[in-house]
Amino acid sequence: MLVAAFGACLLLGSFVSPLVRRLLPVRAVLLLELWTWLGCAAFVFWPSVYVLAASILPTAVAVPSTDSVVHGYRIAMTPDRLLGRAESVFSMIGLLIAPLGPLAAGVLLSAVSARATIAFFAAFGLLLAAWGTLSPSIRAAPSLDELDDLAARPTSPAAAR
């Protein structure tokens, strides 16, 4: 049921992603996902599978908006001649590190309680959210439209001719 609910919320997030990107600045979209992960900390105080499910479902709604902004940024910033290479490297790195989260969770669950495991991940989420909030790069992130405008400008006098 949890996987189905998470998938349904991801689908909902995909439908509302264009609206979220129009209504919120890039920084807010990026921080939205980081801060929604902290909802998992509710499980530490009230250890129930229903609390855990309800606390991660808002994140599932936020993930597609964040992904669309991050992927859009990466594609907009990558020169066309390098786009295929950059995307294949990004995919390779993502596939290589994907097993590390479940592996870390499994190791923690075998060593400590589920509450302690969730507390560890909630603390890690808090660190990431604080880092993202304080990051000068995220604070000064231009919109995707501004990136398109920058990409359209010639970079040298020879290119302008």
pLDDT of the residue at 74: 85
pLDDT of the residue at 9: 95
Mean pLDDT by runs of 10 across the 161 residues of the chain is 92 94 88 90 87 90 91 86 92 93 92 89 91 89 69 55 50
pLDDT of the residue at 15: 96
pLDDT of the residue at 144: 67
Cα distance between residue 41 and residue 25, in whole Å: 27
Cα distance between residue 12 and residue 19, in whole Å: 12
User: How many CB atoms neighbour CB 42 within 10 A?
Assistant: 17
Cα distance between residue 152 and residue 136, in whole Å: 25
Q: Where are the domains of the chain?
A: 2-151
pLDDT of the residue at 88: 94
Evaluate whether 86 touches 78 at the Cβ level (below 8 Å). Answer: yes
Give the predicted TM-score (pTM) of the model. Answer: 0.76
pLDDT of the residue at 118: 85
